[in-house]
Amino acid sequence: MDSGSSSASSHELRSRALRSMSIDSHPVPAPLPRAADPGSDIFNVSLSKSRQVRQWVVQGLSKEESKRLRSNYTPAFEENFELLCPKLEETMDRFWKQKKTFQSNHFQLLDAFRPLLHTWNQLPSDSTLLDGVETSLKLLGNAFASVFKLRRSNAMRHVNPNLLPLLKDDRSFSSREYERLFGEKFLNAMVKYADDFVKVKKIGRSGEPFFKPTSGGNWNSGSRPSLFHSRSSAGGHGSGKKGGFHGFPDSRNAGAFGQSTSKQIPSSRYVSRSTVNSFNVIGGRLALFCHAWSMFSTDPWVLSTITHGYVVDFVSPPIQPSLPTGCVMSDEMRSVCQAEKESLLAKGVIRKVSSVISGDFVSNTFAIPKTTGGWRPIINLKQLNSFIRYQHFKMGVWTA
């Protein structure tokens, strides 16, 4: 080794030593311990137990050990109550993709309850340890309630941030509805808030009292407005709303948020029964049976969609730089797609256009084989869905 390389190595070693001395001479100050209350009992924890606690709070437990400890204690309550992690309501579930955020924290706090409840239940009433165990349960319950409120707030930020002030009123929640994150009591308060909001908005927009349907009207008295969209869809046939439309709105002239930009032709306040009976288009006819749906579902979103229609919630105006290429299909697949198109045209769900104009969004079609045989026609809406707010969908069927 020559003298030049030896000098460079010595210089590097000295630099490292200086950096090490600089770090050691200015240690990071440790956080100050929390001051104890004057009336609190100070107790000592042995060295071995201190190391165990340090390992538990820093490293946690393995999944196998957590599962084993969890299964050791299963409390049975005399009152109608269970230790459960509350579930998010289906009404809000569809609007929130990351619905499991903080749910695991709720489960972990729930696991800590069981052994403490076991100890609390076994201690005699005159035990000196009773006060400490009860204090642990109170603090753990408070932490559980804090995660409860955090999950509610997090869910509401994704569903509708305008309803966040409702979460501050503890009277909107019931301790008996422990299985649900919000509960029926809060949903009723939220529906009332939405009703009042829609009524005030109608009065401010039209300058006249909002329409109260009578028993002969087309709306049932129990219909509810959409909780998560302050606007209702452009009035399809049979909506029974003042300022509605005859027939269906022109989808080509629809704005970015599903609101028609074409000229609106006001219709009558009421829909005559003869008009409904003579109308042979199938599309949109569920609104005629909105009163019957309340017998099958209490979901406000479902009832609002059936009654008022569905508004596509675009996060931004859909833009399509170029038209999609057509799918390569066999003669059988092409005939299936053609038959489905003719069926939708006959039902009034879609309409035929002569040509593509600026602002239109084109999606191609294809067919996939069904497990039971035959083909299922599919409209490829993948590009369009990228402009629409995510809503979780879960297929449900009615059983006899």
CATH at residue 364: 3.10.10.10
In a domain, 302, yes or no: yes
Of residues 232 and 144, more confidence is placed in: 144
pLDDT in tens, 22-57: 444 444 454 445 555 655 566 576 787 677 666 665
In a domain, 196, yes or no: no
- The answer to whether residue 304 scores a pLDDT higher than 50 is yes
Of residues 34 and 400, more confidence is placed in: 34
In a domain, 189, yes or no: no
Share of the chain above pLDDT 70, in %: 57
174 and 248 within one domain: no
129 and 95 within one domain: yes
- The answer to whether residue 303 scores a pLDDT higher than 80 is yes
When pLDDT is cut at 50, 70 and 90, the band that residue 366 belongs to is confident
- CA 196 – CA 188 distance, rounded (Å): 12
- The answer to whether residue 227 scores a pLDDT higher than 50 is no
Q: What is the mean pLDDT of residues 263-285?
A: 51
Share of the chain above pLDDT 90, in %: 0
- The answer to whether residue 229 scores a pLDDT higher than 50 is no
In a domain, 46, yes or no: no
Number of domains in the chain: 3
352 and 281 within one domain: no
**367 strand-pairing partners:** 377
286 and 247 within one domain: yes
When pLDDT is cut at 50, 70 and 90, the band that residue 141 belongs to is confident
- CA 286 – CA 310 distance, rounded (Å): 12
Provide the token pair at 333.
């697949």
Of residues 149 and 96, more confidence is placed in: 149
User: Where a domain ends, among 155, 179, 203?
Assistant: 179
- Half-sphere exposure of 258 toward its Cβ, with a 13 Å CA cutoff? 17
- CA 229 – CA 304 distance, rounded (Å): 10
- The answer to whether residue 347 scores a pLDDT higher than 70 is yes
If you ran DSSP here, which 8-state letter would residue 196 be given? H
Query: Average pLDDT over the chain, rounded to whole?
Result: 68
In a domain, 171, yes or no: yes
304 and 332 within one domain: no
218 and 278 within one domain: yes
pLDDT in tens, 54-76: 666 556 667 787 777 767 767 77
Q: What is the mean pLDDT of residues 133-143?
A: 76
Spatial CA neighbour of 310 closest among 283, 270, 345: 283
The Cβ of residue 42 has, within 10 Å, a number of other Cβ atoms equal to 5
In a domain, 174, yes or no: yes
**Residue range(s) defining the domain that contains residue 109:** 66-179
346 and 288 within one domain: no
Q: What is the mean pLDDT of residues 363-378?
A: 87
322 and 286 within one domain: no
When pLDDT is cut at 50, 70 and 90, the band that residue 211 belongs to is very low
pLDDT of residue 267: 45
User: Where a domain ends, among 164, 179, 194?
Assistant: 179
- The answer to whether residue 238 scores a pLDDT higher than 80 is no
159 and 78 within one domain: yes
Amino acid at 147: V
Q: What is the mean pLDDT of residues 371-388?
A: 87
pLDDT of residue 212: 43
In a domain, 353, yes or no: yes
With 0-12 / 13-18 / 19 or more C-beta atoms within 10 angstroms meaning exposed / middle / buried, residue 14 is exposed
Location of structure tokens 């005859």: 246
Of residues 198 and 288, more confidence is placed in: 288
Least confident of 6-10, 148-152, 206-210: 206-210
Least confident of 116-125, 189-198, 200-209, 271-280: 271-280
148 and 174 within one domain: yes
Q: What is the mean pLDDT of residues 334-341?
A: 89
| Residue ranges in 221-286 assigned as alpha helix (H) | 273-278
In a domain, 199, yes or no: no
383 and 297 within one domain: no
Spatial contact of 258 and 311, defined as CB atoms under 8 Å apart: yes
327 and 258 within one domain: no
pLDDT in tens, 170-184: 788 887 777 788 888
- The answer to whether residue 313 scores a pLDDT higher than 80 is yes
- The answer to whether residue 205 scores a pLDDT higher than 60 is no
Q: With H, G, I as helix, E, B as strand and everything else as coil, classify residue 341.
A: helix
Provide the token pair at 391.
């809503």
pLDDT of residue 18: 43
pLDDT of residue 43: 59
Name the helix (H) or strand (E) containing 119. Answer: helix 103-122
- CA 380 – CA 351 distance, rounded (Å): 18
- CA 102 – CA 90 distance, rounded (Å): 18
pLDDT of residue 319: 86
- CA 182 – CA 171 distance, rounded (Å): 12
Of residues 329 and 396, more confidence is placed in: 329
- CA 274 – CA 161 distance, rounded (Å): 44
